[in-house]
Amino acid sequence: SDHRLIYPPHPDQMDWSSLYPDYVVDEPQQDQQTPAPETPSDRELTPARPKRISKDVEVADIGCGFGGLLVALAPLMPETLILGLEIRVSVTQFVEDRIKALRRQNEAAGLYRNVGVLRANTMKFLPNFFRKGQLAKVFICFPDPHFKARKHKQRIVSTTLNSEYAYVLRPGGIVYTITDVPDLHEWMVQHFEAHPSFERVPEDEQEADPCVPIMRTETEEGKKVERHKGQKHVALFRRLEDPAW
Ligand code: SAM
């Protein structure tokens, strides 16, 4: 159950400082718009303003599992903040520890400071974390297939959820999908192609994208499928401009 998960009421209230401590901006706690509270009781009623970081998260890995994709992407795009979202408590903790260890081991080079993980149910409240058009890339790697028809509503790709991905992605942004389940691949292609905010990225462009081989080989599931000599089906979708009314 995820009823104890905490979500910010609005992306501006999300405190990213503990995930990306190296990007925290030093600034006075009060500014002109929010005058200092007069009395102690006012102070209690004024929510603490989250510490600001100098950049926005631009890449999200939905259901990041053990974090293979995250740690492979981090050194490749060192200027970009990357976030893994994972619903399982112990798995999220594992990824958190993995990132901390990598940061320590690569302290001199300053690597892995741009990657973080958050426990969240991505089927709920994605727009609470990200503003409209904030993200450049969303990865959906080997999502749980939910084979039975009556379980399809639990799939992480659906008409409703695709509208949320469209909301958080900027025009030109890309959704990356990969699965070893042919039926789920077709489902994802159908649902993204049917959505007015997305078009499929042609295969030549897909194969030229440096993130695609990483998705195939660096995810834990990708490695498992490799060992079992299974097929990997990849599809990328581009966020289109909103139509002019
Ligand atoms: N992407 C990873 C990979 O390729 O190795 C993990 C794939 S694993 C089959 C699917 C992951 O999605 C699991 O770790 C699961 O806990 C997570 N997951 C499932 N539903 C989720 C949700 N609603 N929100 C966040 N994570 C979810």
pLDDT tens per residue across span 148-160: 999 988 999 999 9
Mutate to test the pocket of ligand 1, among 86, 123, 180 (most ligand atoms within 8 A of CB): 86
Lowest mean pLDDT among 76-90, 143-157, 183-197: 143-157
ipTM of the complex: 0.99
Which domains does the chain show, CATH number per domain?
A: 56-239 (3.40.50.150)
Kindly give the number of the ligand 1 atom that is closest to the alpha carbon of 85: 25
Backbone angles phi, psi at 177, to 5 degrees: -125, 150
Within 10 angstroms of residue 215's Cβ, the number of other Cβ atoms is: 26
Q: How far apart are CA 60 and CA 140, in angstroms?
A: 9
Measure 65 CA to ligand 1 centroid, in angstroms: 5
Reading phi first (left if > 0) and then psi (alpha if -120 to 50, else beta), residue 74 is in: alpha
Q: How far apart are CA 61 and CA 122, in angstroms?
A: 10
Mutate to test the pocket of ligand 1, among 121, 144, 177 (most ligand atoms within 8 A of CB): 144
Active site residue 144: yes
Q: How far apart are CA 14 and CA 235, in angstroms?
A: 31
Q: Mean pLDDT throughout 202-210?
A: 98
- Active site residue: 144, 180, 183, 209, which one? 144
Closest alpha carbon to 216 in 171, 242, 179: 179
Q: Answer with the residue of higher pLDDT: 2 or 230.
A: 230
Backbone angles phi, psi at 89, to 5 degrees: -60, -55
- Residue 138 confidence (pLDDT) above 80: yes
> Does 219 contact ligand 1 (Cβ within 6 A)?
yes
Q: Which residue has the tokens 């990357």?
A: 82
Tokens of 36: 């200092």
Q: Mean pLDDT throughout 105-126?
A: 95
